[in-house]
A and B are shown apart, each in its own frame.
Chain A
Amino acid sequence: MRKILILLIVGLIAFGCAQKKIVKSGVGVEGEEAIKTSEQIEGEEAVKEIQEAEIAGQDIAKVETEELPEGYKEGEIPSFDDIYFDFDRYEIKESAKPTLKKLSSWLIDTGAKVLIEGHCDERGTNEYNLALGDRRAVAVKEYLTASGVAPSKIETLSYGEERPVCTESNEACWSKNRRAHFVITK
């Protein structure tokens, strides 16, 4: 009984294997003649056309983006200089504090709103720089709210390394790009 069962199992295994065998035994289909008589070739397969040619640019809804000019007319608002950061840091430097003090009192006095853009130099990697630019903008926001500005008046946006003001690859340039930029919105 046991022997029969084992034989049966072995048989099934062999059968299973045989089914998977790749058919490629030489049936004399060699050389020039054989190439011409393509009927003898096994395993014909059309090249599937997945994801090809169908993804034309026009087919996908394009989202056009345009920056709308917003906020105050020129002359009505004081300008606030960019503030700068050390490489890979987001702490507010002493040198930035006068600008931030001026900005916070103006925001409190006028009830205006500000967008803080966080920027980085090109040396970091893309995603981390976006997070770093975000963290810089948030650090400025935290400083301003600690000075009495309502959090609802402050928006933040990170551009990472995507919007440099200076494009040379040297420290003089990089230090200008590691910045927070202020846009008065309304």
Chain B
Amino acid sequence: MENKTFNHICRAGIFLILLCLQLALPCRSAEAKVYIDITSPQKQLPIAIQELTGPYGKEISEIIKKDLDFTGLFFLLDEKAFIEKPEQAFSRENWSVLGAEVVLKGSVRVDKKVIASIYLYDVFEGRAVLKKRYKAEKTMIVPLAHSIANDIYKEITGHKGVFRTKIAFVVESKGVHELYLMDWDGGRMKNLGIRARTLLTPHWSEDGTKLLYSAERQKRWGIYLLDFLKKREMLIFSSKGTNIAGDFFPGGNEFALSSSKAGTADIYVYNIPKSRLTRLTSERGIEVSPAVSPDGLTIAFVSDRGGSPQIYTMDKIGYNKARITFNGSYNTSPTWSPKGDVIAFSGRYKGRNQIFIVKPDGSGLTMLTEEGNNEDPSFSPDGRFIVFTSDRDGEKGIYIMRANGEAQTRITPRGIKAFGPRWSPK
């Protein structure tokens, strides 16, 4: 009896200790003030971003403002109303009259590298809650600014910001497709030097160091892996027919794909180290676009077995198939939210393709877009934003929005035909 109780306490104790040591969150939430509960924000937090003094100060401040503003969680106070000069010391009275709850001040100097120092003040408490210095090469000013925004976001919400994440996508130019990478806000667009007659949506590895994509070269559809660390492209899988890469499974050894090697398009799983292909479906129709759930247990895919393309789910070995979309006659391009609680897809409504979200059990269908044709949805790693392709302004371009459909914004410039975006996992 005594022994049993002892064991219980011991187990509970050890569990709590592990929880405390390994997860920053439970301890932190007990300590740190959370200014905005992002799971159910009651109001926008009034924040004053004072332009950082010194070289690049304006550029850095503008990026921070843009990052925080897009989240919809902040109310950015108008700079014109500020009483305090950027050079002056923080004084809570100068800000409380403006209704600011949080104030950012700071400075930048250049000493071979760019050094930015920032102070984030809690106006009510009258003290700095975040003090940090950042160093970067001059060419890295933009990521430096995004890092500051990430730290502010973390301090205020307790959650990790996505302002240093990337979006991979495809650009068509003169009949050739090329793979591109850009910041989450469309900044620093870069051609990766990967070309093909046709390239499809790239898929990120879990650690963000690799991209998996399909390319048609010399009339053959291959699935390729681009390794950023090795700076190398490898052909992973090729056969006759159309081979289209889907998502990686957790761990990165396996990925889902569709292939018509056996006649018509079916869903397969490919194991890279074992070079082993496993077939999951065998229908006479079309089975395509496998999307792997974050836990790796479920695959959402498109099938026309019911007469029109619809979203289905099945488990990793191809059992328990269930149809989850019933509205409309053309539902394609499924993708999972990072928590696995929602699937976004492109559905045809009144003759045009729109982005919808639905729960994996088929409930909670919501249309998020209205203008033009919208496809290729992909969630940000925190699940708060969705990137997608739209032709609402003429030619196809990349857009981002909040996961509830707010703030739909084009992030690739006009004059560039861009599509197939995928948000990086980190």
Binding site for B on A (CB under 8 A): 2, 5-6, 9, 12-13, 16-17, 19-22, 24, 26, 29-36, 38, 41-47, 49, 51-65, 67, 88, 115, 123-128, 130-135, 138, 155-160, 162
Which of B260-268, B312-320, B404-412 contacts its partner? B260-268
User: In whole angstroms, what is the CA distance A133 to B288 when docked?
Assistant: 12
Binding site for A on B (CB under 8 A): 5-6, 9-10, 13, 16-17, 20-21, 24, 27-28, 30-32, 87-91, 105-107, 115, 117, 119, 121, 127-137, 139-140, 143-144, 147, 166, 176, 181, 190-198, 200-201, 208-209, 215-219, 221, 226, 228, 231-233, 240-242, 244, 258, 260, 263-265, 285-289, 302, 308-309, 329-330, 332-333, 346, 351, 353, 373, 375-376, 419-420
Beta-carbon nearest neighbor of A49 in chain B? B140
Please give, as numbers and ranges, the residues of chain B lying within 8 Å of A63 by CB-CB distance: 194-196, 215, 217, 233
Please give, as numbers and ranges, the residues of chain B lying within 8 Å of A29 by CB-CB distance: 119, 128, 131
The count of A-to-B residue pairs whose CB atoms sit within 8 angstroms is 235
Contact A59–B231 (Cβ < 8 Å): yes
Please give, as numbers and ranges, the residues of chain A lying within 8 Å of B132 by CB-CB distance: 41-45
Q: Give the distance to chain B from A63, nearest Cβ to Cβ, in Å.
A: 6
User: In whole angstroms, what is the CA distance A133 to B260 when docked?
Assistant: 11
Contact A19–B21 (Cβ < 8 Å): yes
Q: Could you say which of B31, B135, B147, B285 contacts A21, with CB atoms under 8 Å apart?
A: B31
Please give, as numbers and ranges, the residues of chain B lying within 8 Å of A123 by CB-CB distance: 351, 353, 373
Q: Give the distance to chain A from B156, nearest Cβ to Cβ, in Å.
A: 13
Q: Give the distance to chain B from A109, nearest Cβ to Cβ, in Å.
A: 25
Contact A127–B20 (Cβ < 8 Å): no
Contact A44–B133 (Cβ < 8 Å): yes
User: In whole angstroms, what is the CA distance A62 to B179 when docked?
Assistant: 11
Beta-carbon nearest neighbor of B218 in chain A? A65
User: In whole angstroms, what is the CA distance A159 to B220 when docked?
Assistant: 11
User: A131 with B244: in contact, given A5-B9, A88-B330 (CB under 8 Å)?
Assistant: yes
User: In whole angstroms, what is the CA distance A128 to B191 when docked?
Assistant: 26
Contact B231–A54 (Cβ < 8 Å): yes
Contact A22–B32 (Cβ < 8 Å): yes
Q: Could you say which of A17, A20, A33, A47 contacts B135, with CB atoms under 8 Å apart?
A: A47
Contact A20–B24 (Cβ < 8 Å): yes
Contact B332–A158 (Cβ < 8 Å): no
Q: 17 A-B contacts, Cβ less than 8 Å apart?
A: A2-B5, A9-B13, A21-B27, A24-B130, A41-B117, A41-B133, A45-B135, A49-B137, A52-B140, A61-B233, A63-B195, A63-B196, A88-B308, A125-B375, A131-B244, A155-B240, A159-B216
Please give, as numbers and ranges, the residues of chain B lying within 8 Å of A124 by CB-CB distance: 330, 332, 353
Please give, as numbers and ranges, the residues of chain A lying within 8 Å of B285 by CB-CB distance: 135
User: A128 with B242: in contact, given A13-B16, A19-B21, A22-B31 (CB under 8 Å)?
Assistant: no
Q: Give the distance to chain B from A55, nearest Cβ to Cβ, in Å.
A: 6
The SS class assigned to the A binding surface is mixed
User: In whole angstroms, what is the CA distance A51 to B166 when docked?
Assistant: 10
User: In whole angstroms, what is the CA distance A47 to B136 when docked?
Assistant: 6
User: In whole angstroms, what is the CA distance A62 to B253 when docked?
Assistant: 25
Contact A65–B196 (Cβ < 8 Å): yes
Q: Give the distance to chain B from A129, nearest Cβ to Cβ, in Å.
A: 9
Please give, as numbers and ranges, the residues of chain A lying within 8 Å of B31 by CB-CB distance: 17, 20-22
Contact A158–B242 (Cβ < 8 Å): yes
Please give, as numbers and ranges, the residues of chain A lying within 8 Å of B115 by CB-CB distance: 38
Those 6 A-B pairs whose CB atoms lie nearest each other, nearest first:
A31-B89, A16-B20, A9-B13, A57-B193, A26-B127, A131-B288
Please give, as numbers and ranges, the residues of chain A lying within 8 Å of B219 by CB-CB distance: 115, 155, 157
User: In whole angstroms, what is the CA distance A186 to B91 when docked?
Assistant: 83
Contact A35–B6 (Cβ < 8 Å): no
User: In whole angstroms, what is the CA distance A17 to B27 when docked?
Assistant: 5
Given A20-B21, A131-B258, output 9 extra A-B contacts at Cβ < 8 Å.
A9-B13, A22-B32, A38-B117, A47-B136, A56-B193, A59-B193, A60-B193, A126-B375, A138-B260
Q: Give the distance to chain A from B227, nearest Cβ to Cβ, in Å.
A: 10
Contact B231–A60 (Cβ < 8 Å): yes
Q: Give the distance to chain B from A6, nearest Cβ to Cβ, in Å.
A: 7
Please give, as numbers and ranges, the residues of chain A lying within 8 Å of B129 by CB-CB distance: 24
Q: Could you say which of B134, B137, B333 contacts A45, with CB atoms under 8 Å apart?
A: B134
Of B5, B115, B190, most buried by chain A (CB within 10 Å of CB) is: B190
Please give, as numbers and ranges, the residues of chain A lying within 8 Å of B333 by CB-CB distance: 125-128
Q: Give the distance to chain B from A103, nearest Cβ to Cβ, in Å.
A: 19
Contact A125–B228 (Cβ < 8 Å): no
Contact B88–A31 (Cβ < 8 Å): yes
User: In whole angstroms, what is the CA distance A56 to B181 when docked?
Assistant: 11
Please give, as numbers and ranges, the residues of chain B lying within 8 Å of A57 by CB-CB distance: 190-193
Contact B136–A46 (Cβ < 8 Å): yes
Contact B200–A127 (Cβ < 8 Å): yes
Q: Could you say which of A12, A43, A52 contacts B131, with CB atoms under 8 Å apart?
A: A43
